[in-house]
Structure 1
Amino acid sequence: MQLTDQELIHAIRLGNEPAFEAVFRQHYASLCQYARTFLHDWDDAEEAVQAVFLAIWEKRDSLEITVSLKSYLYRSVHNRCLNRIRHLSVQAEHREQAVYEVELYQSSSEAPMQSLIADELSDRLKVAIQRLPEQCRLIFSMSRFEEMKYQEIADQLGLSIKTVENQIGKALRILRTELADYLPILLTMLFLN
């Protein structure tokens, strides 16, 4: 006998592993295909789908689904993929910044003035990071220096992924403002090389 969506949801809410496994087996492959249309990487797509199912199981006690189970799963995977895309773009931006800093450092070894400016910028960056609000600084450091994923940070600190994203955005805005007076100098240095 086939259970309805509401019966399956109720069974999962009660911790019924066979019901959860049945939903997993029924939807996993198609959800991975769907996630892959966003992420273009099979491993990332599988990770996103697995994270959705893990979140459902971990929060099964408070599971409230008002739409069809299939719609809920697809919407959850969609949101997870968008979060992953945002995270990857921030990582790429960070990587570009790191490459830029390495290039700046390498070129600074040729010119003492550039080395002095790079050192000063590094010091200002450290001071600016220390001025961030405590939670903002902690989340930013975990993301940038420990290279943790947003979900990992959220899980470790007991926060929502949205809070982590907001705190990272806040940190980047503050740092941009704090270091804004260095932008003209950095641009000048780039064009002089």
Structure 2
Amino acid sequence: MIQRMEMHEFDRLYGEYKPRFILIACSYLRDRSAAEDLVTDCFMHFWEKREEIVPVTENIPAYILGMVRHKCIDALRTRQQHLMTQQQIYQLEMRSIRENLAALEECDLAKILFRSEVEEIFHRRLAEMPELSAQIFIANRFENQTYQEIAQRYGISVRKVTREIQRCLKLLREDLGDYLPIAVLLFPHFLDK
């Protein structure tokens, strides 16, 4: 067993084993530059700690190769973690893109922008109507009751129900004005005859 290592012995060891160790590291890392850096770091670490390592190590090349192996394992684990993180980010981004695409494909931005304004016009107009007219319209358009059911519910004729709904629709169409195309898209069954 060697007790001390001189510079010329280290140079011989470095020159003989560095290319072999680089090939081994490169076969795992698939990156020549990273393999060279890793092997050089291992040799430098060995040189800095040679006073402690040399007296207790029988096979110095095997010792350095063990360091290369451990550094390769660390590098691959770090790369694996990095790729897993990238994959998670990619998956989150893809999910976000899919959700945004679905949302955009399902809705019209004009509907979103003007929905509250159209609803405000509906509510204001219904509040301004005579109570019976508003109740008839709500029963038909929101509760899906037939004209006959509404007539029975309020004790009026089907003809009166028809006239009240037509009057409400006329007033709503007038109030909606420029919003009418959007209102038809948002509430198609509320504005048809």
- TM bin, normalised by shorter chain, reads 0.3 to 0.5
Give the structure, 1 or 2, with the largest relative contact order (CA under 8 Å, sep 6 or more). Answer: 2
Structure of greater Rg: 2
Which TM-score applies when normalising by structure 2? 0.45
Which TM-score applies when normalising by structure 1? 0.45
